[in-house]
Amino acid sequence: MRGLSCLDLFAGSGALGFEAASRGAASVLMVDSSPKALAALATNARMLAAGDRVRIVRADAVRFASSVNSRFDVLFLDPPFHQGWIEKLARVAPSILTESGVIYAEAETRLEGCGEWRTVRHGRAGQVFYHLMRRGETDAT
């Protein structure tokens, strides 16, 4: 993660984004629309002394991703299940990720990919399927 820029859509508890920051990400932008989640994110950012590397934004994930003018090296997707969020975000991923950008996604089922990004690693922890995706590559397992 060292030196990478990360976008954590549906940040929730911020576990993915805070972990990236602790591993040396240059910047982490956390997006969530829940006031309760945002308050917890702000509290945790202060407690962890995240400083300028972590920014928290209140916004709808799809609207935010459709309008942001930055590109990121890593996109974290851990949206609410059974609502089609990953499919909705597939259209905007090319405009928010760098050419070599990767997607880490958690979902209720195994995913083949997200738009141009293909799953290269995957696994399961309890009810959650996790995926690492790279542009144009295929799953090696």
pLDDT of residue 36: 95
pLDDT of residue 137: 64
pLDDT of residue 95: 93
Rounded Cα distance between 110 and 132, Å, is 11
- Residue 138's pLDDT band (cuts 50, 70, 90): low
Residue entry with tokens 């990004």: 117
The per-residue pLDDT of the chain, averaged, comes to 91
- Residue 141's pLDDT band (cuts 50, 70, 90): very low
Beta bridge partner(s), residue 75: 7, 103
The alpha carbon dihedral of 67, 101, 72, 77 has a sign of positive
Beta bridge partner(s), residue 74: 6, 102
* pLDDT (tens digit per residue) in 46-82: 988 877 889 999 999 989 999 999 999 999 999 988 8
Residue by residue, DSSP assigns the chain as -TT-EEEEET-TT-HHHHHHHHTT-SEEEEEE--HHHHHHHHHHHHHTT-GGGEEEEES-HHHHHHH----EEEEEE-PPTTS-HHHHHHTTHHHHEEEEEEEEEEESS--SEETTEEEEEEEEETTEEEEEEEET-----
Neighbours of 57 (CB within 10 A): 16
pLDDT of residue 122: 97
* pLDDT (tens digit per residue) in 96-132: 999 999 999 999 999 999 999 999 999 999 999 999 9
Domains of the chain: 5-135 (3.40.50.150)
